[in-house]
Chains A and B, each alone.
Chain A
Amino acid sequence: MRCGASWLVCGVLVVARLDAQALEPRWSIAATASSFFAHQAIAAQRDLTGSWIGAGLEGEWRMLSLSVEGVTGTISGGGDQRRVRVTDAALRVRPRSWLTLGVAAEALRSAETGDTSVWRMVGPLAGVTLPLGVDGLDARGEVAFFPFLGVAGIDPLSRVARAEIGLTYAPSHWPVSVGLDYRRQSFSFGDARASESLGGLVLSVRARVLAK
């Protein structure tokens, strides 16, 4: 898992360096606060819901950005309650103003009475951002596929994919933007267990400091 993830990171950095050579020096730092109204479907057996809160930090230099986000909260349903913490990290490069490529790493920790599991995932991501014709309003979508998996526990995680689609509104001359996204993540297992999904509505507020 580590070797494959390292190759992905190196590829992103090489692309970023090639693109950044012709650009003016520019960096920005952004902080994000978010609410995640989560819904987890465990096969066709149970629905768990909960409201989580999260925070994130993103640094951007020229076409390269590095972000770290985390959400945490409880999710419950059908007498079952879990304490969940999701930590995302992503290294992105923006070869075009509308295209984002990169590598994502995610750790999902789920704790319930007598059972704590941690899933670690690394894989490539691709994103698209397009304007919606209203000043500051953009539609965005990002897909990540995680072929590199690590599990602390007994779950034989075999395939994970994540998709997120939403819109952002960033008023001109304001350093703050708001976002509304729908995020969905699917987990497949190597044994006979049915797949699971984790998704929900994400509301976020983002403050960005831009410098040249």
Chain B
Amino acid sequence: MNRRLAAVAGVWLPAVLLARPVRAQSPGELLVAARAQLERLNVDSAAALLARVRDPSLRASPGQRAVASVLTGAGALIVGQEARARAAFRDALVIDPLLHVDSLASLHSDLTRVFEAARAGPATLVVALPRDSVLNADSGVLRIGVHTSRRVLVTAILSSGASAEPPVYQDSQTVAGVGGFSWRPGASTPIPTGAFTLRVSVRDPVPDPAGFAATLQVERLAVDTASPPPAVAAADLLPETTRVRERQPRSLLVGIAFGAAAATLADMGAQGPGGRDGRALIVGGAISLGGIVGFFSGRYANRPIQENVVRNREVQAANAAARDSVARENARRRAAAGVRVVVTGETP
């Protein structure tokens, strides 16, 4: 038993002790190594190294992934597969439209030609958009950076998504490599808030142009506003009228006029031997008496108190001025409040 264990240990222990420790390579080191392999025409070795660069766990930068695609294309050229090389170059341009391969031209004599042919194909587009930005409400500008693989007409449209509503922002420009759009939220009144869709598209006669879409959440930043002073309470105002009893001359006139008319009504028409009907006087007297009672009993009327009216107006005006002042200040604060723009979804 001990002899067998000693034999196994004798075989494996030197191997373990002599083995070189495997050092973790960075994407940059892998790219350097892959280029060296290509220069030695070891395409398969280079391909293995480049496959590791594309491994998400290594977290290669977009530029490193683009170079990896270019080196992949160079390897394809070395083995005579130009179509595969062009596809790899397009992958590189999709990642970085501004990519140039001058420093890699020594890898293959056709590299530059095939790469430029790929660039002449469907335009690629990369939109650089800040993920979370706070803009000044009045003068803030959201920069939308655009990189294109070649000279094309680019259109940016920011809309709420409802087809019936006009876009919040729309602009077009010819971009040859580097360009950009500037959306000023304060240009719209009121400042649009909510979810908006940003679409950046390329107008290009070459089929299958690139496009970009992102969802932007736009919101006003909360501001600390002041509370307006309360309205003037009724208890703070002085009575503006006083209730007084007034005589009613009109009632007296009506009573006398109708009473006289009733009393003389007995003279209308024929008179009998007994003379005029005295009962008309009863009715006339009753009406006149009613008018006299109405005159003296009078009626209650509200008579204005000018001093109190003036004072109440001053109080009301002062209160209104204070409320207006607070309202203006709150409006100013709201207008000055920033606008936050957050990219919540992105579709390259």
- Which residues of A pack against B, CB within 8 Å? 37, 39-47, 130-134, 137, 139-141, 161, 163, 165-167, 180-182, 184-187, 194-197, 199-201
Assess the B270–A186 pair: CB atoms within 8 A.
yes
Contact (A163, B265) CB under 8 Å given A41-B272, A186-B270, A199-B277: yes
Docked pose: A47 CA to B274 CA in angstroms: 7
Given the complex, which residues of A lie within 8 Å of B251, measured CB to CB? Answer: 131-134
- Chain B residues proximal to chain A, CB less than 8 Å: 248, 250-252, 254-255, 258, 261-262, 265-266, 268-274, 277, 279-280, 282-284, 286-287, 290-291, 293-295, 297-299
Q: With A39-B277, A165-B261 known to touch, is A133 a contact of B248 (CB < 8 Å)?
A: yes
Given A139-B290, A186-B270, A196-B269, answer yes or no on A133-B250 (Cβ-Cβ < 8 Å): yes
Which residues of chain B are within 8 angstroms of A134 by Cβ–Cβ distance? Answer: 251, 290, 293-294, 297
State in angstroms the CA–CA spacing of A46 and B290 once bound together. 34
Contact flag A41-B287 (CB < 8 Å), given A131-B294, A139-B254: no
Not counting A132-B293, A182-B266, a sample of 14 additional A-B residue pairs whose C-beta atoms are within 8 angstroms of each other reads: A37-B279, A39-B272, A46-B273, A131-B254, A134-B251, A134-B290, A134-B297, A167-B258, A184-B277, A184-B280, A196-B269, A199-B280, A200-B277, A200-B279
Binding site secondary structure of chain B = helix
Given A46-B272, A46-B273 in contact, is the A199-B266 Cβ separation under 8 Å? Answer: yes
Q: Which residue of A lies closest to B293 (CB)?
A: A134
Contact A165 B269 (CB under 8 A): no
Kindly state the separation between the CA atoms of A87 and B135 in the bound complex, as whole angstroms.
91
Residues of A with C-beta under 8 A to B277:
39, 184, 199-200
Enumerate chain A residues within 8 angstroms of B269, measured Cβ to Cβ.
41, 161, 184-187, 195-197, 199
Check A163 against B255 for contact (C-beta < 8 Å).
Answer: no
State whether B291 touches A184 (Cβ < 8 A).
no
Distance between A97 CB and nearest chain B CB, rounded to angstroms: 14
Question: Chain A residues near B248 (CB, 8 Å)?
Answer: 133
Contact of B273 among A47, A167, A185, A196 (CB under 8 A): A47
**Residues on B with beta carbons closer than 8 Å to the beta carbon of A196:** 269-270
B127 to chain A, nearest CB (A): 67
Q: Which residue, of A42, A47, A182, A197, has the highest number of chain B Cβ atoms within 10 A?
A: A182
CB B258 to nearest CB in A, in angstroms, measures 4
In the complex, what residues of A have CB within 8 A of residue B265's CB?
Answer: 163, 165, 182, 184, 199
B297 and A182 contact, CB distance less than 8 A: no
A167 touches B279 (CB 8 A): no
**A41 to B286, alpha carbons, bound, how many Å?**
24
Contacts of A166 in B (CB 8 A): 262, 283, 287
Set B273, B280, B282, B294: member contacting A133, Cβ < 8 A: B294
Partner of A197, one of B268, B274, B293: B268
* Cα of A186 to Cα of B250 in the assembled complex, Å: 31
The answer to whether A44 and B294 have CB atoms under 8 Å apart is no
Complex alpha-carbon distance, A139 and B268, angstroms: 20
A140 to B287, CA, bound (A): 9
Partner of B268, one of A42, A47, A133, A186: A186
CB atoms of A165 and B262 under 8 A apart = yes
Scoring B252, B262, B271, B286 by chain A CB atoms within 10 A of each residue's CB, the highest score goes to: B262
CA distance A185 to B277 in the complex (A): 13
Question: Does the CB pair B258–A141 fall under 8 Å?
Answer: yes
A132→B280 contact, CB < 8 A = no
Give the complex CA separation of A42 and B283 in angstroms. 23
The 3 A-B pairs of least Cβ separation, nearest first, read A133-B294, A133-B251, A186-B269
Q: Which residues of B contact A165 (CB under 8 A)?
A: 258, 261-262, 265, 283-284, 287
Q: Do residues B258 and A201 form an inter-chain contact, with CB atoms below 8 A?
A: no
Taking a contact as CB atoms under 8 Å apart, the answer to whether A41 and B258 are in contact is no
The one of B271, B272, B283, B295 in contact with A201, judged by C-beta atoms closer than 8 angstroms, is: B283
Interface contact A132-B286, CB-CB below 8 Å: no
Q: Which residues of B contact A141 (CB under 8 A)?
A: 258, 261-262
Which residues of chain B have C-beta atoms less than 8 A from A167's C-beta?
258, 283, 286-287, 290
**Residues of chain A with a CB closer than 8 A to B271's CB:** 41, 44, 197
Contact yes or no, B270 A180, CB < 8 A? no
- Of the residues B273, B284, B287, contact of A132 by C-beta under 8 Å: B287
Provide the bound-state CA to CA distance between A34 and B251, in Å.
27
**B258 and A130: CB pair below 8 A?**
yes
- B252 nearest in chain A by CB position: A133
Q: How far is the CA of A165 from the CA of B280 in the complex (A)?
A: 9
Q: Which of B272, B287, B294 has the most CB of A within 10 A?
A: B272
Query: Chain B residues with Cβ under 8 A from A195's Cβ?
Result: 269-270
A194 adjacent to B266 (CB under 8 Å): no
Which residues of chain A are within 8 angstroms of B295 by Cβ–Cβ distance?
133
